[in-house]
């Protein structure tokens, strides 16, 4: 009953007749506007990080990777992969020989990371198949001279399926360098959706890779896939893992035991630690800045309520002269701050979610408008210019399409902090309202 009375007073103070309702509405909109970028930034950053990271460990680093300490033959490498594949928790294990080379055609040249893979990896590894999209041709490594190129490399070399490319590799012989040139035929062009990978990789059959890549350079490795890679030790996805972290760590130990001291075993996070740590640091910094904006908006609530107290002095004096206690007045203004926080959080979360869910379409629309405007200006000013279009997210560093997953926990935390900050910000004006002396107010008015 007491709480109901105080809530009714808070509603009267905020949304009563006159301009006070406009002030409350402005405070609610201010809170909502501060919350919208926070919601969008958290989800876009999470989506970008998860999308890039997943592409790395599904197509590049694997979930777990065992790296040989020395060179070996194809038979030894295949035997080690078979040993790892026999471990119960391992879903797939494939041998890989990687190194560096220079690809060139008459149209151009491009340095590349040469990945020599099992020709059946496309069939046996669904994660690899899911995130490596074929744009042209097929993922065919059946012939010894077949090669599958990333989109950026294929573009720089101006080749498509059926075209020949030459690969230059270098071996060290008696302290000198011995170049070796091999001719390959492009069978497919792929994209991972992340240009940082598309411009690096060229994939050839493992049998040919062991032959042409220098034994002293690159690595001999076994790529391992498990049921839940996110459960492996990492600071990014522990909250979304569906299996026990201890079980995941035991898999790493089992692989190390099976292979022995001649191999080193790493998780996907350990192989790209600096990259993933920088992702988390950047995301946390952005979230911190957005939270500061929310707190600044909460301070404006305090200012609005202080003005409200000054304008409502006469009404507060009348209420106190009729027996309303200072505690009731104080609690009413705290309720007012809480109410502003609740409505502001609800509005901000709603708008933020709408933008978040449609962020890819919104970005494309903005890019289209900007490019139309720029193209018009260029046509009028320099009709023959042919500059590249504007891209909000440079695809060399970001994903072409941001995968978005709504995080209920992040929304709850954002709403909780917003409402708490709004409520706390109301304490000073609430205390000031409670200290108003009715006799002084009545004498003045």
The pLDDT of residue 330 is 82
- Into how many domains does the chain fold? 2
Clarify whether residues 326 and 426 are in a common domain.
yes
CA distance linking residue 204 with residue 182, whole number of Å: 11
Position 189 in a domain? yes
The pLDDT, as a whole number, for residue 1 is: 45
Domain boundary among 271, 300, 317: 271
- Pick the closest to residue 221 from 71, 35, 19 (CA basis): 71
The structure's pTM equals 0.77
Last residue of a domain, one of 241, 271, 301: 271
HEC secondary structure over 363-404: HHHHHHHHHHHHHHHHHHHCCCCCCCCCCCCCCCCCECCCCC
Do 310 and 209 share a domain, yes or no? Answer: no
Same-domain status, 306 and 157: no
Verify that 410 and 267 share a domain, yes or no. Answer: no
102 found inside a domain: yes
Range of 122's domain?
Answer: 62-271
Tens-place pLDDT, residues 362-372: 888 887 888 78
On whether residue 55 sits in a domain, the answer given is no
- Residue 57 inside a domain? The answer is no
In a domain, 54, yes or no: no
Assigned domain for 293 exists: yes
Same domain membership, residue 284 and residue 266: no
Q: Do 264 and 171 share a structural domain? A: yes
Q: 78: Cβ–Cβ under 8 A, 6 or more apart, which residues? A: 95
Alpha-carbon distance 233 to 269, whole Å? 8
Residue 400's alpha-carbon distances to 66, 198, 356, 403, in angstroms, are 31, 12, 16, 10
CA distance 331 to 339: 12
Rounded Cα gap, residues 441 and 433, in angstroms: 12
Distances, alpha carbon 301 to alpha carbons 20, 226, 309, 399, 432, in Å: 13, 51, 12, 38, 14
- Same structural domain, 241 and 317: no
Q: CA angle 253-254-258, nearest 5°?
A: 120
Q: Which of 223, 249, 271 is the last residue of a domain?
A: 271
Predicted confidence at residue 110, as pLDDT, reads 92
**Are residues 107 and 30 part of one domain?**
no
pLDDT of residue 228: 87
pLDDT the model gives residue 166? 95
Classify residue 225 by burial, with Cβ atoms within 10 Å: 0-12, 13-18, 19+: buried
Is there a single domain that holds both residue 295 and residue 380?
Answer: yes
**Is residue 31 assigned to a domain?**
yes
Q: Residues 342, 395: one domain?
A: yes
Q: 236 with 347, same domain?
A: no
**In a shared domain, residues 157 and 288:** no
- Residue 56 falls within a domain, yes or no? no
The rounded average pLDDT for each run of 10 residues, N- to C-terminus, in the chain (445 residues) is 64 62 78 88 87 89 93 92 93 93 92 93 92 92 94 92 93 74 94 82 93 84 92 75 66 92 93 87 84 81 77 72 78 85 92 91 84 74 57 64 84 89 86 75 64
Residue partners of 371: CB distance under 8 A and separation at least 6: 389, 390
């Amino acid at each position: 009953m007491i709480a109901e009375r105080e809530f009714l007073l808070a509603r009267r103070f905020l949304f009563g007749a006159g301009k006070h309702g406009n002030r409350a509405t402005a405070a609610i909109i201010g809170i909502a506007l501060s919350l919208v970028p926070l919601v969008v930034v958290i989800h876009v950053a999470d989506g970008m990080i998860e999308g890039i990271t997943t592409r790395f460990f599904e197509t590049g680093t694997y979930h777990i990777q065992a790296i040989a300490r020395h060179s070996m033959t194809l038979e030894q490498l295949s035997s080690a992969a078979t040993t790892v594949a026999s471990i119960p928790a391992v879903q797939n294990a494939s041998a890989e020989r990687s190194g560096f080379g220079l690809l060139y055609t008459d149209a151009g040249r491009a340095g590349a990371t040469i990945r020599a893979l099992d020709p059946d990896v496309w069939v046996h590894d669904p994660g690899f198949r899911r995130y490596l999209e074929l744009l042209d041709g097929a993922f065919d490594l059946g012939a010894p001279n077949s090669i599958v190129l990333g989109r950026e490399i294929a573009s720089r070399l101006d080749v498509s399926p059926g075209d020949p490319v030459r690969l230059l590799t270098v071996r060290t012989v008696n302290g000198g360098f011995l170049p070796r040139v091999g001719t390959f035929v492009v069978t497919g062009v792929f994209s991972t959706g992340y240009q940082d990978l598309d411009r690096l990789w060229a994939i050839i059959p493992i049998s040919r890779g062991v032959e042409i890549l220098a034994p002293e350079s690159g690595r001999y490795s076994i790529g391992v896939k498990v049921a839940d890679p996110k459960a492996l030790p990492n600071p990014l996805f522990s909250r979304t893992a569906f299996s026990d972290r201890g079980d995941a760590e035991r898999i790493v130990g089992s692989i190390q035991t099976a292979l022995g001291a001649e191999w080193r075993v790493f998780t996907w996070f350990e192989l790209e630690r600096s990259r993933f740590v920088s992702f988390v640091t950047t995301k946390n910094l952005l979230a911190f800045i957005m939270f500061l904006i929310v707190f600044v908006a909460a301070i404006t609530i305090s200012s609005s309520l202080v003005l409200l107290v000054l304008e409502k002095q006469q009404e507060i004096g009348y209420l106190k002269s009729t027996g309303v206690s200072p505690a009731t007045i104080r609690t009413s203004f705290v309720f007012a701050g809480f109410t502003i926080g609740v409505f502001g959080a609800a509005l901000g979360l709603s708008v933020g979610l709408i933008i978040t869910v449609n962020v890819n379409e919104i970005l494309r629309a903005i890019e289209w408008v900007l490019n139309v405007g720029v193209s018009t200006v260029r046509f009028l000013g320099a009709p023959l210019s042919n500059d590249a279009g504007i891209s909000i997210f440079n695809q060399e560093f970001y994903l072409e399409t941001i995968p978005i997953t709504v995080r209920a926990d992040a929304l709850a935390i954002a709403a909780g902090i917003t409402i708490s900050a709004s409520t706390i910000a109301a304490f000073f004006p609430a205390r000031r309202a409670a200290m108003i002396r009715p006799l002084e107010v009545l004498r003045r008015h």
